[in-house]
A and B are shown apart, each in its own frame.
Chain A
Amino acid sequence: MNINDYINSGILELYVAGQLSEKESKEVYDLMLKHPEVLKEVLEIEAALVKLTASVAPKKDIDFNTIKGRLNTNSETKVISLNRPKTKWFNYTGWAAAVVLAGGLIWTINQKSNLEDQIQIVNTEKDFLEIQMETSKTDLAETKNLLNIIRDKSIINIPLEGQAAAPGAYANVYWDKNDDTVYLDLQGLPEPPEGKVYQVWSLTLNPLTPTSLGTIDDFIQDDNKIFKLKNANQSQAFGITLEPAGGSKSPTLEQLYTLGALASI
């Protein structure tokens, strides 16, 4: 672009008149920074117009001090004071409302979260109670079953007395001859020491012949201490000895805990 042509085009006069678009004005502004002759031209156009317009003004000098008092913050406050309380009030209420709203929102979210937590807890409790109820039902069924067994007239009850190895011990044998089953109530036996198990023996008396019915391997874990073993023997008595884990072929008589014979014998 030829700067002289640009200057002579009359665009700078229009620039000072405020006739250019924002884009054109920016262009002139940039050229003024780049080319001193453009800036000089604009300043001269402006100076000439300032003088021309000033020559139209009434010849009265109005001092800056006449407006100075209205520039400072005091007058500004005075001027705006009518609006300000209102604006402030609106502002404060607006902010207060926003804060209250935000607070309410947070509170609601909190409440919701709390309630969800509570629901979770209640659900867990419910599950737990259901399991407990199920367990209780099972327990009850088992107990009823045991009661039925004990009450059954075909079942023979043989109390086993504590022997020298464990004078305070006792046990009960319920023998269902119909299905060759014995139920052992071992509540009265102490917990076997580690590495030892109780072994149950069926005895015939003349001559004294012991037959192993099996070992009670889960004595400690079992809650009701009632155990079920098969017994197809013509037993005359039952004995329980403490044996090494896995059981023994023949009873260790020194460790005979309980012993009892059938009443009819």
Chain B
Amino acid sequence: MQLELLVSKFKQKDEKAFEKLYNMYKDSMHGVIYNIVRDNDIAEEIMQDVFIKAWHKSDSYDATKGRFFTWLINIARNAAIDKTRSKAYKNASKNLNSDFFVDIIESQDNLDNSTDAIGIKKFVDKLAKKCIQVIELLYFKGFTQKEASEALDMPIGTIKTRNRNCIKELRESVL
């Protein structure tokens, strides 16, 4: 329950607790944001804004309604999507390709040899395309089950079980 304690301290505006949460989730949020905006500077700026926003609206987080991670990732996705819709962003004519997160992982140089990176690469390498798509839509893009089932032309029930199996594989690779 260490995490729960940090979150409840964060709600009480405890800066130390927030710093710990920041360090736990900053890369995760950075990744989600980068996957959407595909720009280093913009992603960095949004990631920081997201944590500042979370800090100022900490009152609105309710543990009974969902995970802190889920709450945070929603703020991050929304901020990133808002950015892609802004005029400034469009004027910069970002070439938003339809690549999935795996392309980013695969394009990264292999200088980073941390165990996580190795596990992820292993996972990505052996993942079925359907698995990548489901994870991309549900976690990176924030699609609903229904939206994902329409996008992938797959029954909702299948999305649910496939997702379960994909996450299971991911856990085996990285945990």
B34 near A56 with CB under 8 A, answer: yes
Question: Which of B35, B112, B174: most chain A CB closer than 10 A?
Answer: B174
Residues of A39-97 contacting chain B, CB below 8 A: 42-60, 62, 64, 66-68, 70-72, 76
Q: Out of B24, B30, B64, B105, which one reaches A25, CB within 8 Å?
A: B64
In the complex formed, the residue of B with least CB distance to A18 is B70
A26 to B63, CA, bound (A): 9
Q: A253 within 8 Å of B by Cβ? A: no
Chain A residue nearest to B105 in the complex (CB): A55
Interface string of B105-143 (1 = CB under 8 A from A): 100100010001101100100000000000100111010
- Residue of A25, A55, A64 touching B19 (CB-CB under 8 A): A64
Contact string, B79-111, partner A, CB cutoff 8 A, digits 1/0? 000000000000000000000010011001000
Residue in A closest to B33 when the chains form the complex, CB atoms: A57
A56 to B38 CA separation, bound complex (whole angstroms): 10
Q: How far is the CA of A59 from the CA of B114 in the complex (A)?
A: 12
Nearest A residue to B70 via CB reads A18
Contact A56 B104 (CB under 8 A): yes
Which stretch of A7-15, A138-146, A154-162 is in the interface?
A7-15
In whole angstroms, what is the CA distance A25 to B112 when docked? 37
| Chain A neighbourhood of B55, CB < 8 A | 71
Contact A56 B67 (CB under 8 A): no
Asked whether A62 and B66 contact (CB < 8 A) given A48-B171, A67-B52, the answer is: no
CB pair A50 B28 closer than 8 Å? yes
A29 within 8 A of B: yes
Residue contact B145 to A55, C-beta cutoff 8 Å? no
Q: Is the interface of B mostly helix, strand, loop or mixed?
A: helix
Are A9 and B139 in contact (CB-based, < 8 A)? no
B148 shortest CB reach to chain A, Å? 9
| Shortest beta-carbon distance from B169 to chain A in Å | 9
* In the complex, residue of chain A having the shortest beta-carbon distance to the beta carbon of B63: A29
Given contacts A10-B160, A18-B74, A29-B64, contact A56 B31 (CB under 8 A): yes
The answer to whether residues A53 and B139 also contact, given A18-B74, A48-B175, A59-B112 and a CB cut-off of 8 A, is yes
Measured between alpha carbons, how far is A51 from B24 in the docked complex, in Å? 10
Residues of A contacting B44 with CB < 8 Å?
A: 58, 60, 62
Annotate B28-60 by CB proximity to A: 1 below 8 A, 0 otherwise: 111110110000100110011001100110000
A11 — which chain B residues lie within 8 A by C-beta? Answer: 160
Q: Which of A49, A51, A67 contacts B48 (CB 8 A)?
A: A67
Q: Is B15 an interface residue (CB 8 A)?
A: yes
Smallest beta-carbon distance B161→chain A, Å: 6
B45 to chain A, nearest CB (A): 10
User: For the complex, is A22 an interface residue (Cβ under 8 Å from B)?
Assistant: yes
- Using Cβ atoms and an 8 Å threshold, which residues of chain B touch A53? 27-29, 31-32, 35, 73, 101, 139-140
7 contacts between A and B (CB under 8 A): A18-B67, A52-B31, A55-B117, A56-B34, A57-B30, A57-B43, A71-B18
Q: Which residues from chain B sit less than 8 Å from chain A, CB to CB?
A: 3, 15, 18-19, 22-32, 34-35, 40, 43-44, 47-48, 51-52, 55-56, 63-67, 69-71, 73-74, 101, 104-105, 108, 112, 116-117, 119-120, 123, 135, 138-140, 142, 144-145, 160-161, 163-164, 167, 170-171, 174-175
Known: A13-B167, A48-B175. 14 other contacts (CB 8 A): A8-B164, A15-B70, A16-B67, A48-B167, A48-B171, A50-B25, A52-B170, A53-B32, A54-B27, A55-B116, A55-B120, A56-B32, A58-B43, A64-B19
